[in-house]
Structure 1
Amino acid sequence: MGAKVSTGGGGGKRNRAEVTADPNVIPFIDVMLVLLIIFMIAAPISSVDIEVDMPTSKIEPSKRPPRPTWISVSQGPGGIETYVMNDLVPIGELGERTYDAVKINSPLIANDDYEIKDQRIYIRADQNLEYRNVVRVMNRLQDKGFTKIGLVAEDRRR
């Protein structure tokens, strides 16, 4: 059980038994198993089926967010190279090509000029690129009407 009785092997009191006070967990386990069985039997009985007339939802499901539009800026052998998605684009055509890329990435708003220009454009640039070149790209986008521009940084925590 829980207590341990052993006879001492020496000393002056040979007839005394040593008693250790270990907790007796067997009755506790028995009580817990009985309670578990009681709850397993009582749980299905306590569930009551009541028919409730719930109101219908008037909320329309949310639209799937559009695919992000990326602009990459890097220093190439011939100067600054700008890419819309994965296509190399001259800096003079950057606004128009970005507009076309947003229309392709967001087919649900392809006919709404205001919604297209309201989309966020993400710019990522090389580490050694001068910031004025990034600002030049941002100015080209603002000339076309894109005002929501996000700059992307590399996550170096890994």
Structure 2
Amino acid sequence: MAGSIFHRKRRKLKSEINVVPYIDVMLVLLIIFMVTAPLLTLSVDVKLPSSNAKAVETRNEPVIVIAYPDGRYGLKLPEAKQPEVLDAATLESRVAAIRAEQGDELRIMVAAEGAAPYQKVLDAMDVLRRAKVGNVSLMTNAGGNAR
């Protein structure tokens, strides 16, 4: 054996990374996230502080305007026991007269019966805007937004 010479072919080094396994892992993670995302709770559980403080008392009791489902309005003055039922034009003139008497200190609260459409509340607020009343609040039941 007279010196056999083996010529090995040198392999070229691959400088590329095989990304197929990484793509498989990413697809599995994507499926896991797609399945678990709808199950997550999107709210934050916060315990709000409570207070025994009473509401700030003001000198003027508010005038209450009530929107009825049939389009009529009620006007309850602080000294009245029952609201007076009025139409829109009469309500506007009465509120304008009260505003002229009390000035900018006039506070009006708009209430609506439960069956009254929201449009009737907006109409009542429009009547108050035409009477140039600036301090208008919406009336709700206490604890209506408790969660």
TM-score between both structures, scaled by the size of structure 2: 0.48
* Higher RCO (C-alpha 8 Å, min separation 6): 2
What TM-score, normalized by structure 1, do the two folds share? Answer: 0.45
